[in-house]
Structures are given as structure tokens and as C-alpha cells.
Structure 1
Amino acid sequence: MTLIMPRPVKDPDSGIYYIRVRVPADLTASVGRAEVSKSLRTREPAEAKERFAIEYAAFQCRWAALRAKPEPLTLKQIVSLSGRVYQRLMETLDEEPGETSIWEHVAQLNKQAASDDSALELWYGQTVDEVLFEEGIAIDQTSRKRLITETQRAWEQATEQLHKRSQGDFSPDPNANRFPEWASEKKPPKSASGSTLSDLFDRWKKDHLANGKTENTVKDFAQKLEALKNYLGHEDVERISPREISEWTDYLRHERGLNPKTVSAKYLAAVKTVFRLAHSKFLIESDPTNSVSVKIPTKVKSRSSGFTEAEAKCVLSAANKVFEHPSNMAHHNKLACRWVPWICAYTGARAGEITQLRKEDLTVVNGIPQLTITPEAGSVKAGMYRAVPVHPHLQEIGLLDFIASAKSGYLFHSGGSTTAEAKKRSGNARDKIAVWVRESVGITDERIQPNHAWRHRFKTVGRNADIAPEYLGAIQGHAGRTAGENYGEYPVETLYREICKLPRIDVS
């Protein structure tokens, strides 16, 4: 009898080749279907054969893993796998999170399912099984039940973030890095030169952390490199060509449905950074990402990104009256709505930089009151402190009196026992302001962000007041446009002189 070997199958409509293999009879119950298929992402017969061989071998490894004795997973491994679900959901809806009402409904269903084992199985069982199948691992029933529970938590976290995004708040999830990296016990095969994607990433990570950069970037880059590895089916650096990198970006755009800006600025940028460092360190002979780019179409802009004069006055007028209207809002959040918009209007700071202010961050230098925005208090983009003079109008409306009468510590939340907890509460306060602007004040135009619009407006008003670009940048915490602008300091007297040029905002 002649054995017919499996081979690539061509889709008659798209012309793209697929691998389609039957699931072994003894595994159909655990896999849940009799046949599996996967796109080979090419229309070229020769490439299809090469990729088919890789994918076919991967399926054989999965069959072997499923036949193996189910093993228990540690909590760290379980949380790591649940992070795959979180990341996939966030990436799929990165650009268009949908309607707010949808995520409110999903949040309610998530909450109901959390205490019902049958509902957990119905909602998340199939998702968990797909993740396990993709990883080619077999786990015992106890671990599977724990993984379903953690997957529900991951869904809950993603739902909360997508709800925020649906309201125009695309700030990073402060808890996104709670998911540890998945560490497979199997060592990847190395190329003749000994270089794998993991090797290149580890070398980049070592330099990145040694330079005092953040762990968040390490986590993000690890996910992007993992996405490339999963697409290729291997991590042998010598086998990666520029064409494959380009096809990967096409796959992310057209099959995963990601926005071209996301593909370029997040996925491709991460991979380029790692390969560029490896090439500069002579770990690889050539950089396959060097000539690859993703074209980003010009986005139609139908209005200014900053508040109009009427919108700004509307928000600030409402801020003045926030304590006059009864509501269930916590006292700290009312304080944030009362003062943060005003401070942002006269400093151009990020709302999250202001919600993390502490009483001790107000100081007086040479008779000039100033607010110190510092990484010690929480998150500051680029990790650099700056001191911003307090505009005379802020002094007149009572900001200094408010801070002087406040208790020690954070002004707009109760802090926390850890730095991470304090950062989270600063973020929550910032988010409450955004919701208040949308729902209570009524600034519903989705083309602007309810907090970030102050930064755009500050720049516009500052230019109109003839404040030089280097001073605007220093006040807002933007990097200098030239190397020369980064020399020396900007004395508080100088910045106060410039900030006093800003016209008063009359909301009476």
C-alpha cells in the first residue's frame, strides 16, 4: 500500500495555502474536533512546502504532548497563560474598542460568571483549551480549573481597560505587567551561529535594564518577539529573511486586523530595536528588518486635538461647582475633578502627573511657588523630574491654600502601602476625571481625549502668547528639539516669567 503523505492545500478563492491534518482518533475527544487547519500565509508553492513541514512537525509535537501524562501547572505558569488571553483581546481591539455599553454589559456577565463553575466553563473553557493546544501542553483537571478562573480574571481586567478605551482613554493598563512571561521547559534549537530570537532578546534586555530603562518595555517587547516566533514557527535567526518580516507585518494587518500604526509603532519597532542592537554587537551578520516598513495612511483630522475656548471654560466652570452638586463620588475624586483640570490648563501637564502630586511636591523657590513633577511620586513619561511654576490665577483661586491645608501625602487619593498601589490609585483618579468630563460635564466629542486635550490646548495658547518653543517644552516635559536645548537648566524665574504670559481663563 502506498502511503499518501499530507501536503499543503490551496484555497480556491484566495490562493493562499493551508495545512489541514486529521486529529489522531485517540485525541479527538480532547482536541474537540476531527480536523485542524492553519494558514501558511503564502501563495508560493515552494514556500508553502517549507512552512508546511514546520507546521506539520509542530502538530506532531502537540499530539505527543496531549498523549503525555497531564502535568500540574504552577500558579505562575497559570497566570502567564491567562495573560495570552488578555494580550490577544487587547491587541485585537486596540484601535476600535467598540461601544461603552457593550463593555458594561460584558463586565456584568463576567461578574455573574465568576461565582458559577458551569458559567465559567461555558464562557472560558474553549478559550483555555485553545491556548493549551497552541502551546502543546497537557495539564491536569485541577490546573485547568485554576486556569479557567485566572482567564476569567484576565477577561475582567481586559474588559475594564476596553471600557476605558471606549470612552477615549487609551492610557496604558498599570497592571498589564502582572502576567509573567511564559517559560517553556523545552530549549529552542539553535542555528549554526548559536543565535535564536531568545538570545537576541536577552542581550537587548540586558542592555536595556542596565541603562535604567523600564520593565514595562521588556514585557511589551517580549510579547512582540513571541508573536513573531509564533508566526514563523521557529526562532532560528539565520532562517529569518526580510521577506518573512514583511509578510509578518502583512499578516498582522490583514489577518489579525491590527491597525497599520500599531503594527509599525509597536510590533515592527520592537523587533527592529532588538535586531538593530544584535547587528551593532556583531551577533548577526545582517539585519532582516532593516529595509522593512509599514505604510501608515494619513489620518483625516476634522478638528483640533485640544479643547476649544468654550469647551475649556465649560470644564473649568463645572470644576468650580463640583462640590455644589450631590453625588456618590468619593471625596478624593471630587478634589481631583475640582483642581486637576485647572492645574492642567495652566501647566499643560499630563493628568496622571497631576493626580500623583503630594503635599510635599509644592515648594517655594526665590518667592515663586512651584509644583515638582517627579518619578518618585508615580509615573512620569521619560522618567525625568521637572518643576513647574504656579500661575498667578491658580494662586488667586486658592490652589496654594488647598495644598497647605491638605494632609501629608497624596492630594487626590489615599496612597497605598506600595508604590505600585499608589500608581494604580493615581491612574484611577485620572480615569475618574475623564469619565466626569464625558458624563457630568457633557464633553462627548470622541475626537478629543478628555484629559489629554489640555496638553494640546496649552501648546496652542502658549504659542499665541509668544512663549518660545523651548520654554513650552520645558514646562510640559517634552524633550529638547536639539542637543543644544538639553544643555543647562531652566530657572524657576525664567519659567515663571513665561508662564505668566498665559492669559487668565475667566469662567465667571
Structure 2
Amino acid sequence: MSAVRGAISAAVKRERAVIDFEAAGGDPAAIPGVSAFFFFFGNDAAPDDVPEPPKKPKPKAEVPAPETLSRDDVTPPPRKKRQQPESGFSARIRDVVERLSKTHARTGRANAKTLTQMRAVVDLFCEITGVDDVRDVRQQHLALFISTLDSLPPTYRRSEAEREKPITDIIADAEASGVPIGLSVATVNRNLVHIGKVLKAAQAEGLRVDSSLNPSLLRRFSKRAAKDEREAFTPDDVKRIFEAPVWTGSKTAKRRRDPGTVVVKDWLYWIPLIAAYSGARREEICGLETADVSEVDGVAVLLIRPNARRGLKNPQSERTVPIHSHVLELGFLDFVEAQRTAGHKDLFHDLKRKSANSQIGDSMDYLWRHIQADRLGAQPKKTFHSFRHYAVQGLRSESDVEKHVRAELFGHLVGDIEDDRYGGRAPIAALRAAVEALPRVF
């Protein structure tokens, strides 16, 4: 009987010690011998088994808010030298990007434009954060990167004078001059996607990437719907645009905005017409080769496909677009044949990229913006891309043009797996009827 009382007394003492240990902030589960069967199997505990109250943990250093982050705040301490390499791959961020780029280029998962963007984003990330090893990247570096994008003017490094200028100097100049700063929501999110792909690629190669990294936490959300980012040209806008001297007669071949009697049927004449009658993207049109103008079942078409000059936005962008009868009547095929005869591979060979990172269409942007402003006045939400919105909205109002035909014509997905994956191509006659449903612009 006394042995039982002793066991109960020992158990009570031990239970009180556990309660005190838990009240002091400890984890009872960490005490040796503590379990659901404590009173039966823990009754032989010695006084030495009673745990001491744990020491209070030291407060963690707070991470500065993104707007106050600097490279000094987030750069990790030097890494201890590893005795054995954790992977056979270089951990330099730029090396990871190059390996990923080669894989994407070989498998066709990304076009040249996307891969160029990825390299530029990674170069900017390394410049801003000072981090060169993918294993050193921390969430704070991602926050610093995005915070810096908020301080950059949208046109940073487009001029020759800024190409080699440090980012810190560009930000200081922007603050001093009072120009608008902050990249768009779409650009910030696209940069995060590129960084995320690089981190996943490094992890897939066996490199020890910080598992707590989460670029998606820094995604930005626009209050405006995607369809409100750009406004469509109205039918009246389009008529007014094509009443410009470029199409009605200009003073000389060089003074295209001044009225006269000279009509030059070059890239400036044809590209807006093709956009209005097809809804094709600017780069898709500007980057056409002479071989991309063909014929299918007796119908003159544009083959929107990747070529040596430019890629496409996505796989569904590759398509066949019939040429509107008005464009043919104006002599477009004669223009194409003249380019072939002259030995030009590029249909609009006069358009050249301003730099390796720019688009072909950037070469026409300055002149186009002035022509648009001459005809429509200041309308910042309307750009060359507004032709695409104009064509899409125009065909949506045509009840005879089915949704899957419109989607194929514009290079969109229908949004229905049955149509997108298993649906066949629309007949060329249906595509031609859809194009002809767009009204003549003059």
C-alpha cells in the first residue's frame, strides 16, 4: 500500500513539474518519458528527470518594410565552404538562366523574345540585389527587387545615354526630374514569373534553393479589368485615321503627315491596313517574311508563324489569316512580289530593330503615334493595339461568325477544352467570310 502511495506521490510531483514547464513556455512533448501512459509508466522518475523552465527565446530581428529595403539590409552573410558540391551544376543565377534558355529553345516552350526578356530580368535582379548565387536568394531580395521596380521610370534604359547607367543613378535622375515612376502591374508580374521559373529550374537541378521563397506573394493586382487596359478604336476613329495623308496623298515621300498628292505604298501604308482588316498584333505583321504571304485553297493568306525574324506570343498565335479583299484591290500582292523580285526576305525590310532587346514594331512607333494624334487627338488608352480590339469587337457583333472561328482568326483559345484540344481547324472559307465581315475603312 505504501508503494502505491509513493508511486502516486511521485506521479503528482512529476505532473506539477510538467505543468510548470509548460507555463514557462516549454513543450511538454519534448520531456523524456511524457506520454499518454504517464501515470503507469512514468512513476519511477527520479528528481533529476524534472525539467528546468526553458529560457525565453531572444526576439528575432525585424525585416525592414519593402520601401526601406536596401542591399545592406538583405544580403546574407558569406556562406560556409561546402566540403562536397551539392549538384553538378553551377549555382550562378545567370548560368541557371542559360541552361533553362537552352532547354526552352530546344523544346519550343518559349520563343526568342521571351528568353531575351528572362535574361534581362535576371540581369536586373542581380544588379539590384547584388546576389549572384541562386542559393543565396531570400524573400527579402525579391521584395527589394519589386520595391525598386516601383521607383523606376517606365522608359528606363531605352535611350542610348541610359544603357550603361547604374539603376541607382536612373532612379535618382527620375526623382530629380519628377517624371512618372513605377512599372506597370503586368510588367511587375511578368518579372516575378521569370524569377520564379529560374528558381524552380535551379531546384530541379538539385541546387539548394531556399524552400521558403514565394515570388507569388509579391504579385500585383490591378483595379482595372484586363479589357480596360487598352481601348478599341471605334469605327469612326478608324475612318478618321485612314483619311490621313499617308492614304489620301502626302506632300512628299518623307513628309507623310502633310497633305499632298504623293501616295507611297510602303510599310507605313500597309501595316495599319492589315491590322484593321485582320486584328493581328503589331509584331506579327511587322515581322512577316515574303514567304509568309501564300495561298490556301485559292485564297490569299498571311501565315502567322514563327520565323527567323521574330517568334510568336504563344502556341495558339500560329494561324492562317485570309487577306481582306480591299487590301488585295489596293495592290498588296504586287507589293509582295516586288519585294521578292528585289531579293528581300523580310516583307517590310525597311523596319529594323533599334536594339537587340527591342521589337521590330518599335521602329514605327514614333511616326505612328504622331499620325494617330493628328487624327484623334490625345487618347492615351488608344494605341496601335487598339486595331486588334476594334477587329475583335467588330466580329463579336456579327452573329454569323462563330466563336471558334473568331478565336482561330485572332489566335485565341476558345476556353472550352473540347474545342481547344479536340476541335479541328476552321475551313479557310469560314475564316475568309469572317475577315470580309469587317467593314471597309475607306
TM (norm. structure 2) is: 0.60
Change over 3 Å in CA distance of 1:380–1:475 after alignment to 2:
farther
What are the residue-to-residue correspondences of 1:209-220 with 2, within 5 Å? Answer: 209-212=105-108, 213-220=110-117
What are the residue-to-residue correspondences of 1:288-437 with 2, within 5 Å? Answer: 288-289=213-214, 292-299=217-224, 305-318=231-244, 321-329=247-255, 334-376=265-307, 378-382=309-313, 385-400=318-333, 402-403=335-336, 408=341, 409=344, 413-414=348-349, 427=361, 430-431=364-365, 434-435=368-369, 437=371
String of CA shifts for 1:35-59, please: whole Å, max 9, x gaps: xxxx8639xxxx95x85977xxxxx
2:121 and 2:247 map into 1 onto residues whose CA distance is 46
Change over 3 Å in CA distance of 1:474–1:258 after alignment to 2:
same
Change over 3 Å in CA distance of 1:202–1:244 after alignment to 2:
same
Paired position in structure 2 for 1:245: 142
What are the residue-to-residue correspondences of 1:136-175 with 2, within 5 Å? Answer: none
What are the residue-to-residue correspondences of 1:27-176 with 2, within 5 Å? Answer: 41=70, 48=73, 51=75
- Give the structure with higher Rg (CA): 2
- Secondary structure of the residue aligned to 1:379 is coil
Paired position in structure 2 for 1:476: 410
Change over 3 Å in CA distance of 1:480–1:401 after alignment to 2:
same
Change over 3 Å in CA distance of 1:445–1:53 after alignment to 2:
same
Identity of aligned residues (%): 19
1:199 and 1:339 map into 2 onto residues whose CA distance is 43
For residue 379 of structure 2, the aligned residue among 422, 433, 445 is 445
What is the Cα deviation at residue 283 of structure 1? Answer: 3.4
Paired position in structure 1 for 2:432: 496
Change over 3 Å in CA distance of 1:371–1:289 after alignment to 2:
same
Please tell me whether the aligned partners of residues 355 and 429 of structure 1 are also in contact (alpha carbons under 8 angstroms): no
2:229 and 2:104 map into 1 onto residues whose CA distance is 38
What are the residue-to-residue correspondences of 1:249-260 with 2, within 5 Å? Answer: 249-253=146-150, 258-259=182-183
Please tell me whether the aligned partners of residues 356 and 410 of structure 1 are also in contact (alpha carbons under 8 angstroms): no
- Secondary structure of the residue aligned to 1:292 is helix
Amino acid of the residue matched to residue 504 of structure 1?
P
Q: Which has the higher helix share?
A: 1
- Secondary structure of the residue aligned to 2:197 is helix
2:350 and 2:332 map into 1 onto residues whose CA distance is 20
1:370 and 1:469 map into 2 onto residues whose CA distance is 20
Change over 3 Å in CA distance of 1:325–1:412 after alignment to 2:
farther
What is the Cα deviation at residue 312 of structure 1? Answer: 0.4
Please tell me whether the aligned partners of residues 339 and 347 of structure 2 are also in contact (alpha carbons under 8 angstroms): no
Structure 1's unaligned 5+ residue stretches are 1-14, 18-38, 55-187
String of CA shifts for 1:374-420, please: whole Å, max 9, x gaps: 3336324237643211233434454445545665346864469x999
Please tell me whether the aligned partners of residues 278 and 391 of structure 2 are also in contact (alpha carbons under 8 angstroms): yes
String of CA shifts for 1:68-111, please: whole Å, max 9, x gaps: xxxxxxxxxxxxxxxxxxxxxxxxxxxxxxxxxxxxxxxxxxxx
1:202 and 1:410 map into 2 onto residues whose CA distance is 30
1:428 and 1:250 map into 2 onto residues whose CA distance is 28
2:106 and 2:393 map into 1 onto residues whose CA distance is 38
Change over 3 Å in CA distance of 1:319–1:284 after alignment to 2:
farther
1:400 and 1:233 map into 2 onto residues whose CA distance is 54
Change over 3 Å in CA distance of 1:333–1:474 after alignment to 2:
farther
- Secondary structure of the residue aligned to 1:271 is helix
Paired position in structure 2 for 1:228: 125
Change over 3 Å in CA distance of 1:470–1:283 after alignment to 2:
farther
| Number of aligned positions between the proteins | 332
Change over 3 Å in CA distance of 1:261–1:461 after alignment to 2:
same
Amino acid of the residue matched to residue 70 of structure 2?
R
Amino acid of the residue matched to residue 491 of structure 1?
P
Worse overlay, 341-350 or 319-328: 319-328
1:219 and 1:404 map into 2 onto residues whose CA distance is 33
2:82 and 2:116 map into 1 onto residues whose CA distance is 23
Answering whether residue 191 of structure 2 is matched by residue 267 of structure 1, we say yes
Change over 3 Å in CA distance of 1:398–1:51 after alignment to 2:
closer
Structure 2's unaligned 5+ residue stretches are 1-62, 153-170, 172-180, 257-261
2:112 and 2:311 map into 1 onto residues whose CA distance is 14
String of CA shifts for 1:6-26, please: whole Å, max 9, x gaps: xxxxxxxxx979xxxxxxxxx
Paired position in structure 2 for 1:206: 102
Change over 3 Å in CA distance of 1:52–1:366 after alignment to 2:
closer
2:250 and 2:440 map into 1 onto residues whose CA distance is 21
Change over 3 Å in CA distance of 1:414–1:294 after alignment to 2:
closer
